[in-house]
Structure 1
């Protein structure tokens, strides 16, 4: 593969990333394909102009994939067994600010369904572009977020916080300050 896929594989190899969720892939179809440098992309998309989600795995983990759920062009998950641990990797791409509320509710409903289908005791990692700002600080939301959010909280950010509370999860990227030098991966997620 050439182009963006190969570029992504090179960044993953350089940064030593084994599993990565990607959004806005803009590829039609429901496939798994090698993107080079020992990485494989599992993806789902219905429109080559917008949306699409995927999960990129280092080839050594591909044999550990037990299940792929392609729910929509905004939500998909992979279940892997790694050293006896069940790991569910969920990739999501929330509708942008300005999209219809119905479309946003459909996304959150699909994500809820995926989460509810995961048996208790299995691990879950969500890599998503939630298209929202959870805000700086954490007043009142300490149980799900740290103090390193950015900007003011918007409606979409509140939806993220509410989801984290419902699922007893954390908004992990708010627990640490981001360094500029790592922006090469952020532009891919």
Structure 2
């Protein structure tokens, strides 16, 4: 969600790296749609390699906001992934989650959704159709050093 008064300016700045990674200049806002858990390992490797390359090319002084549909569950193991998590985590980790966590550790990114205490229904972004279990699979990532600039991150139910 972006302030209405600047949307028209941002729309004219669209830069695409691929059909899955779009960059908005100035604030360096990346909109990313990752491969699914069922994707072939070659496709996943290609996606994460491309994402890593794009993130590494972002100037170190820039603020970076990454809006991500990662189809990944990152779990709750904050000890293993220091600096990536806040205290408010949900669920278990899956293979895509591990790939996301590796990039976060390597590039010193933090998952903002886990920083703020919220009701459970506002922490999760997807419900499995058969099991009816709720999961957090969509994320907003920022550089760890920029966490002080994040005032709140919240799910919009039924968005």
TM-score (norm 1): 0.59
* Structure 1 residue 79 displacement after superposition: 0.6
Within 5 Å, which residues of 2 pair with 1:25-36?
none
Judged with a 3 Å threshold, the aligned counterparts in structure 2 of structure 1 residues 177 and 122 are, in CA distance, closer, same or farther, namely same
Is residue 2:108 matched to residue 1:168? Answer: yes
Higher-strand-fraction structure: 1
Larger-Rg structure: 1
**1:134-172 deviation per Cα after TM superposition (whole angstroms, max 9, x unaligned):** 102412212211232221111111111111111111011
Deviates more, 1:109-118 or 1:179-188: 179-188
Match of 2:25 in 1: 79
Judged with a 3 Å threshold, the aligned counterparts in structure 2 of structure 1 residues 78 and 71 are, in CA distance, closer, same or farther, namely same
Q: CA RMSD in A?
A: 2.4
Q: Which runs of 5+ in 2 are unaligned?
A: 126-154
Judged with a 3 Å threshold, the aligned counterparts in structure 2 of structure 1 residues 187 and 117 are, in CA distance, closer, same or farther, namely farther
Match of 1:101 in 2: 41
Are the counterparts in 2 of residues 66 and 78 from structure 1 also a CA contact under 8 Å? Answer: no
Judged with a 3 Å threshold, the aligned counterparts in structure 2 of structure 1 residues 186 and 103 are, in CA distance, closer, same or farther, namely farther
Match of 1:185 in 2: 156
Match of 2:60 in 1: 120
Match of 1:111 in 2: 51
The count of aligned residue pairs is: 128
Distance in 1 of aligned mates of 2:19 and 2:157: 20
Q: Which runs of 5+ in 1 are unaligned?
A: 1-16, 20-57, 81-86
Q: Which structure is richer in relative contact order (CA contacts within 8 A, separation 6 or more)?
A: 2
Match of 1:28 in 2: none
